[in-house]
Amino acid sequence: MSAEQARSTQSGPSAGAGRGLSAGGADFRHGDWEAVIGLEIHVQLNTRTKMFCGCEVTFGESPNTHVCPVCLGHPGVLPVTNEKALEYATRIALALNCRIAERTIFHRKNYFYPDLPKAYQISQYDLPLGIGGYLDVELEDGSNLRVGITRVHMEEDAGKLIHAGGASGRIDGADHSLVDFNRGGTPLVEIVSEPDISTPDQARAYVTQLRSLIEQLGVSDVNMEEGSLRCDANVSVRKPGEPFGTKTELKNMNSFRFLHRGLETEIERQIDALESGERIVQETVHFDPATGLVSTLRSKEEAHDYRYFPEPDLTPIELDEAYVERVRAGLPELPAARKQRLIDQYGLPPKDAALLAANKPLGDYFESLAAATGHARSSANWVLGDLSAFLNAAGLEVTQCPVTVEGLAELLGLVSDGSLSGKMAKEVFEVMTATGKSAQAIVAEKGLGQISDTGELEAIVARIVEANPGPAEEFRQGRDRVLGFFVGQVMKETRGQANPQVVNDLLRKHLQTPDG
Amino acid sequence: MTAGRAATGERSDGSAIDVTTLTAHRCRELLAAGEVSATELTRAYLDRIAAVDEAVQSYLLVDEPGALAAAATVDAKPRAERSPWEGVPIGLKDILCVKGMETTCASRILKGYVPPYDATVISKLRAAGLIFLGKLNMDEFAMGSSTENSAFKTTRNPWDLDRVPGGSSGGSAACVAASEAPWALGTDTGGSIRQPASLCGVVGLKPTYGAVSRYGLIAFASSLDQIGPLTRDVRDAAALLDLIAGRDPRDSTSIGLSEPAGVPDRGDLEGLRFGVIKEFVGDACDPGVRDVFDSTVDAIALLGGVCEEVSLPSVERGVAAYYIIAPSEASSNLARFDGVRYGHRTAHSQDLYEMYTRTRSQGFGTEVKRRIMIGTYALSAGYYDAYYAQAQRTRTLIIQDFEQAFSRFDFLISPTSPTVAFKIGERMADPLAMYLSDLCTIPVNLAALPGISIPAGMSGGLPVGLQIIGPHFSERGLLNAAHAVEQKLQVEVVAPLAEVER
């Protein structure tokens, strides 16, 4: 969409949005300035074929190997809409609580650039697929920020320019450019938010949770580094209560870290400029992660007139209620709903439920584990604790985890039946992740099994009580604390493998009835 | 027969016939009967082209080896195994992509461009076994009404070589009139089949928008373009339409015909009501054209048809609306010719911007540039509502006028062109006069209707065409009505061309 359009939506704060620096932005200090941020997220859909032709959608293949006359913009070719892409886009719009347009059309966005073969991008303009939605974003402090979704629309991706002959790979200093059209025509969905975001932290939370939502819909790889999720921001600053300031469009934030740093840098730049009496120019700025600075790309004031007009090669898309309901019925459980269910069904604390709901595979792993063990709380503790710590350290997704649900369930079973202490279970888990061996096998190999055998322990307890008549007498005098001394002695004897509960019971029995 | 004309067929009684003067369906009959081989037929047309095209200039490219090879393949097949039209030659407007055959749209910017794919209509004709003689001249990117806007040559009207053949499918109309192909394909955005058909004295049909796939037709104005036949009689037009029509999964705007056109055989017009479009027969028309038209109305009455004047007030704004809508779409459609991937690229440029501007300045002709500028302007922010949106509203009014008229009439009629063929150069300095050549045809495209031009008579030795317009997808009825009129009028369609025959 055009920047002008986005601007026109900035007519006032949307209802229900947590505005200002107070909501989740306490760490962000800019005197009495507040930032106004709207995000435009581009998501590449993971359909098998491109938006308007039959070429395969690929990543990282040899240049110009997945192209045809249509996506190369040869004379005479015509686009045909990918129905799967339409369905995926509808899924996203519905998941973002948008109203689906009964009649939606494509427009041509005209501009010349070598990565755009037809010299126009087939996009949507004033009749997008979805409008008027929202996403509820859970902030660090547990509060909720409702971010309005202005629109969700479909379009096609451009090709990729490779600037050669220069040092940086950037166009500056390059002596020629090459074009790879493999990406050209890949289906994109653009999600435009209302300017309801006021801090870089909120922006990061919004993108993180939006990304997780789309991942759970199964319609995109949502990989920022590979460019299947791209983020641009419209940023302005103002004093609370004042009208919106002039905004800039911040581009090239291809990771969460750059998104945060880019916004921070740009907000500070704008505040500094305004405080020193300068004027903000409406323009596109580019965040350079290498220098941490933002630089101007071009002035929006003299920018493109895209000459949008309805794409005459495509007929209007009319989506009836039955279609929309069919797509809605096919939606997986969305994070907000899952979080609530995890709380209700498993009695999890909201924070744990939110973490598990935000990561679909992790949530799935948890639910399978809880079912296998019958112990929801300990399952959640393990998944969010040791398992997540291991995955983070190893840089793995839960789907790549070497410890299966069954394997972890076995380990938790050993804990719950008293065969292993919690501490020992952690050690066994570490070995499991490193070797892939089962918990039973590791316990057997290392002789780690907790001694719960009453007969075996009873002999040890009796011997220790007998060897320490003094403390035994003290216990019988009523000094309960002495029990700790005996427990320590038994543990020492058993190298910590004794079941503490069994040891306790046996000690009391032997101390109260001296000499067996 | 004049010496030099290849007389390759032989009647059963032994006398020679000139196959190049025959209709396509007669060629088909001769092929089926074994009276002529595909090679003989193709050779005859190639010889005819060699004899007259230096004067007529209708072909941009003659694919002699390709045509003869295709003909030999047909001849190698037993006749019983051939499909009906196998071996019949055809000429193709150079706006249709043919895999492996240079396709230029008569523009320098596409000089040397060889498409890597076949247009859908070309695939259909290939599958049907037609022989492609070559590519026909046209106004550059179909922008013009005289074929003078070709970057490569000026095609001449076979009836008078000092006059234009009309346009933009001037090469297609001239080649059929000059016996350089039994039939040809053209395209019609605002009259580009019907107006040259009228000026060259042949039959030209613009199908309902959506009847024929546009895939592989190099777009001028996407919401108006249609491919259609230029032929020597109505029966051939129906046959060629049936060969190319149909819903195409590659063209989202294609629908196909509700019923095939079949073989038109209607001999009368009993029970049919014809509305004479008042706005097209007034002062805008040359008296000679009006005389022919008036006698045609009489002929229709004699056939039992009822003719009555009808007013469609909004069609007078058709030309104005068209010259916003068509250039707007064209400005976008022609943006892909940027020198990056194919076609002409300037030899010298310092940067990207210069590469674009020099490539396009060198590659496009004056009329194309004019329309790109008009279209770019009309779509610009701040002007869109006043021009493009307003033109679309006008288009809606025109559609409504036609809908109303068709509630009272089966068909609407008018002269196809307000004038006969004009002199070469006569209108080149006056674009508005040139644009008015399509006064009677443009509203038909705006309303997406089918329209046919058939030869109706002569004025001052030059052909005059009758336009018959039908409701959407009424091609079968339209062609039958046209057939009845054609049989009644019996107008000669093959130009004499005596002066150029050697």
Is B115 part of the contact surface with chain A (CB cutoff 8 Å)? yes
Chain A residues within an 8 Å CB radius of B379: 110, 307-309
Residue B1 domain flag: no
Q: Is residue A341 part of a domain?
A: yes
Average pLDDT for residues A217-234, to the nearest whole number?
A: 94
Same domain, yes or no: A178 and A207: yes
**Pairwise CA distance, residues B498 & B5, whole Å:** 11
Separation between Cα atoms, residue A286 and residue A278, nearest integer Å: 20
What Å distances lie between residue A204 and A96, A262, B56, CA to CA? 17, 11, 70
The C-alpha atoms of residue B361 and residue B364 are separated, in whole angstroms, by 6
Closest by alpha carbon to B27, among B222, B227, B236, B201? B236
Indicate the number of domains in chain A: 3
Q: Please report the residues numbered 225 through 284 in chain B whose beta carbons come closer than 8 angstroms to any beta carbon of chain A.
A: 249-253
Chain A residues closer than 8 Å to B113 by CB = 75
Residue that is last in its domain, among B390, B414, B443: B390
Is A17 a domain residue?
Answer: no
Are B216 and B344 members of one domain?
no
- The whole-angstrom separation of Cα A446 and Cα A425 is 12
- Dump strand ranges (E) for A2-113: 34-44, 99-100, 103-104, 107-110
Residue B252 lies in a domain: yes
More confident residue, A473 or A147: A147
Q: With 70 as the cut, is the pLDDT of residue A15 above it?
A: no
| Listed residues B373, B390, B407: the one ending a domain | B390
Q: Which residue of B has its CA nearest to A114?
A: B340
Same domain, B247 and B103: yes
DSSP state of A214: H
Shortest alpha-carbon distance between residue A63 and chain B (Å): 14
Distance separating alpha carbons of residues A19 and A186, to the nearest angstrom? 36
Tell whether B223 is within 8 A of chain A (Cβ): yes
> What pLDDT, on a 0 to 100 scale, did the predictor assign at position B13?
53
Cis amide linkage into residue A421, ω under 30° from 0: no
Q: Do residues B493 and B201 make contact, with C-beta atoms less than 8 angstroms apart? A: yes
CA distances for A206 relative to A142, A258, A353, angstroms:
14, 15, 18
| B376 close to A (CB below 8 A) | yes
Residue B51 pLDDT class (50, 70, 90 cuts): very high
Kindly state whether residue B112 falls inside one of the protein's structural domains: yes
For the ranges A188-197, A472-481, B358-367, the lowest mean pLDDT is seen at: A472-481
Do A382 and A438 lie in a common domain? yes
Q: Rounded distance, CA A102 to CA A120, Å?
A: 25
For chain A, give the mean pLDDT.
Answer: 87
* Domain assignment of residue B12, yes or no: no
User: Is the same domain home to A86 and A49?
Assistant: yes
Question: Are residues A175 and A125 located together in one domain of the fold?
Answer: yes
Note whether B487 contacts A: Cβ–Cβ < 8 A.
Answer: no
Same domain for B268 and B385? no
Q: What whole-number distance in Å separates Cα of residue B413 and Cα of residue B452?
A: 10
Which residues in A lie closer than 8 A to residue B335 (C-beta atoms)?
110, 112, 118-120
A108 in B contact zone (CB under 8 Å)? yes
* Structural contact between residues A383 and A404, judged by C-beta atoms closer than 8 angstroms: no
Structure confidence at residue B156 as a pLDDT band (50, 70, 90) = very high
Cβ under 8 Å to B: A residues 116-155: 117-120
Query: Which of A19-33, A291-305, B68-82 has the least mean pLDDT?
Result: A19-33
pLDDT at B117 over 90: yes
| A504: CB partners within 8 A, 6+ apart | A483, A487
Note the pLDDT tens digit of each residue in B329-383: 999 999 999 999 999 999 999 989 999 999 999 999 999 999 999 999 999 999 9
CA dist A166 and A153 (Å) reads 36
Do A340 and A278 sit in the same domain of this protein? no
Name which of A313, A317, A318 to mutate to probe chain B: the one with the most chain B Cβ atoms within 10 A of its Cβ: A313
Question: Are both B193 and B75 inside the same structural domain?
Answer: yes
Q: Which residues of B touch A178 (CB under 8 A)?
A: none
Whether residue A464 is predicted with pLDDT greater than 80 in this model: the reply is: yes
Query: What span, in angstroms and rounded, lies between the C-alpha atoms of B371 and B382?
Result: 19
Binary contact (B329, A312; C-beta < 8 A): yes
Assess whether B299 and B374 both reside in one domain.
no
**A75 vs B115: CB contact, 8 Å cut-off?**
yes
pLDDT at A29: 54
- The CATH number covering residue B232 comes to 3.90.1300.10
User: What's residue B500's pLDDT?
Assistant: 54
Contact (CB, 8 A) for B269 and B303: yes
A 172-191 near B (Cβ less than 8 A): 179
Alpha-helical runs (H) found in A172-240 = 200-217
Least confident interval from A341-345, B15-19, B291-295: B15-19
Using CB atoms, pick whichever of B216, B352, B379 lies closest to residue A76: B216
Q: Which of chain A's residues have a Cβ under 8 Å away from the Cβ of B110?
A: 75
- Answer with the residue of higher pLDDT: A21 or B97: B97
Token pair listed for A89: 């886009």
Query: Which of B167, B171, B261 has its CA nearest to residue B208?
Result: B261
The DSSP call for residue A102 is S
- Per the CB < 8 A criterion, the answer to whether A360 and A216 are in contact is yes
For chain A, positions 52-91, list CB contacts with chain B under 8 A.
69, 72-81
Instruction: For A118, name the nearest residue in chain B, comparing CA atoms only.
Output: B336
Q: How many CB atoms lie within 10 A of CB B323?
A: 21
Q: Which of A446, A462, A478 is the last residue of a domain?
A: A446
Q: How far apart are CA B142 and CA B106, in angstroms?
A: 8
Q: How far apart are CA A348 and CA A341, in angstroms?
A: 9
Which of A326, A345, A375 delimits the end of a domain?
Answer: A326
Q: CATH no. for residue A498?
A: 1.10.10.410
Q: Is B13 helix (H, G, I), strand (E, B) or coil?
A: coil
Q: Do A80 and B250 touch (CB under 8 A)?
A: yes
Helix intervals (H) in A347-417: 350-358, 360-373, 376-382, 388-394, 405-416
Q: Do B170 and B259 have their domain in common?
A: yes
Residues B58 and B142 in one domain: yes
Q: Name the residue in chain A with its Cα closest to that of B342.
A: A74
Give a yes or no: residue B360 inside a domain: yes
Distance CA B361, CA B376 (A): 15
| HEC per residue, B331-386 | HHHHHHCCCCCCCCCCCCCCCHHHHHHHHHHHHCCHHHHHHHHHHHHHHCCCCCHH
Phi, psi of A74 (to 5 degrees): -70, 160
Alpha carbons B327 and B222: distance in angstroms, whole number: 11
Q: What is the pLDDT of residues B216-241, one digit of tens each?
A: 999 999 999 999 999 999 999 999 99
Asked if A292 and A209 sit in the same domain, the reply is yes
pTM summary value: 0.86
B383 shares its domain with B408 = no
Q: How far is B475 from chain A (nearest CA, A)?
A: 23
Contact B379 A307 (CB under 8 A): yes
Residue numbers of A between 299 and 358 with CB closer than 8 Å to B: 305, 307-309, 312-315
Specify whether A433 is located in the same domain as A291. no
Domain boundary among B363, B390, B417: B390
B27 and B169 in a single domain? The answer is: yes
pLDDT classification of A379: cutoffs 50, 70, 90: very high
A159 lies within 8 A of chain B by CB: no
Q: Contacts of residue B105 in chain A, CB cutoff 8 Å?
A: 75
Provide the angle, in degrees to the nearest 10, between the axes of the packed helices B366-379 and B318-333: 100
Picking from B215, B342, B353, B377 by the largest number of A CB atoms within 10 A of its own CB, the best residue to mutate is B215
Q: Which of A405, A487, A503, A496 is nearest to A453 (CA)?
A: A503
Range with the largest mean pLDDT of A315-319, A337-341, A499-503: A315-319
Asked if B117 and A74 come within 8 Å (Cβ–Cβ), the reply is yes
Interface contact A114, partner B, CB < 8 A: yes
The predicted pLDDT at position A300 comes to 46
Residue A342 within any structural domain of the chain: yes
Nearest Cα residue in chain B from A117: B336
Residue A79's nearest CA partner among A153, A151, A184, A2 is A184
Residue A22 lies in a domain: no
Q: How far apart are CA A364 and CA A357, in angstroms?
A: 9
Tell me the residue range of the domain where B385 lies: 320-390
Instruction: Select from B132, B115, B113, B96 the least CA-distant residue to B213.
Output: B96
Residues of B noted as catalytic: 93, 168, 192
Of the candidates B97, B249, B352, the beta carbon closest to that of A76 is on B97
CA distances A456 to A460, A497, B51, B440, Å, are: 7, 12, 117, 110
Residue A167 identity (one-letter amino acid): A
In a mutagenesis test of the B interface, which of A49, A64, A77 is the best target, namely the one with the most B β-carbons within 10 Å? A77
State whether A347 and A465 are in the same domain. Answer: no
- The answer to which of A179-183, A420-424, B78-82, B200-204 has the lowest mean pLDDT is A420-424
Residues B176 and B61 in one domain: yes
pLDDT digits (tens, 9 = 90+) for A489-510: 888 887 777 877 888 888 888 8
Q: Which of B214, B252, B341 sits opposite A81 (nearest CB)?
A: B252
Count of the separate structural domains present in chain B: 2
Beta carbons within 8 Å of A175's beta carbon, 6+ residues apart: A164, A165, A166
What's the token pair of residue B119?
């247009």
Looking at the fold, whether A423 and A291 belong to one and the same domain comes out as: no
- Domain, as residue range, for A480: 454-512
- What DSSP designation does B217 have? B
| Boundary-marking domain end, from A404, A419, A446 | A446
- Residues A166 and A249 occupy one common structural domain: yes
DSSP A330-353: TPPPPHHHHHHHHHHHH---HHHH
Q: Which residues in chain B are closer than 8 Å to A7, comparing Cβ atoms? A: none
Share of chain A above pLDDT 70, in %: 90
In a domain, B9, yes or no: no
Whole-angstrom Cα distance, residue B9 to residue B34? 10
- Alpha-carbon distance A354 to A298, whole Å? 41
Q: Is A356 exposed, middle or buried (0-12, 13-18, 19+ CB in 10 A)?
A: buried
- What is the amino acid identity at position B212? V
Q: Which residues contact A192 (CB under 8 A, 6 or more apart)?
A: A1, A6, A9, A38, A39, A40, A41, A149, A150, A151, A152, A153
**Whether residue B351 is found in the same domain as residue B260:** no
Residues A55 and A142 in one domain: yes
For chain A, the C-alpha Rg in angstroms (whole number) is: 30
Angle at B78 between CA B77 and CA B79, to 5 degrees: 110
Q: How far is B280 from chain A (nearest CA, A)?
A: 29
Q: Which residue has the higher pLDDT, B4 or B80?
A: B80
Q: How many residues does chain A have?
A: 516
Residue keyed to tokens 């920020």? A145
Residue A88 lies in a domain: yes
Of B217, B352, B379, the CB nearest to A309: B379
Q: What percent of chain B has pLDDT over 90?
A: 90
Higher-confidence residue of A106 and B282: namely A106
Chain length of chain B: 502
Say if B349 is an interface residue toward chain A (CB within 8 Å). Answer: no
Provide the pLDDT for residue A512.
80
Query: How much is the mean pLDDT over chain B?
Result: 94
Are B173 and B204 members of one domain?
yes
Numbers of helices and strands, H then E, in chain B: 15, 13
With 0-12 CB in 10 A as exposed, 13-18 as middle and 19+ as buried, what is A478? exposed
Within a domain: A24: no
Are residues A214 and A72 located together in one domain of the fold?
yes
The predicted-structure confidence for B428-442, as pLDDT tens digits, reads as follows: 989 888 898 899 999
Q: What is the pLDDT of residues A226-272, one digit of tens each?
A: 899 999 999 999 998 899 999 999 987 888 899 999 999 999 999 99
pLDDT given at position A7: 33
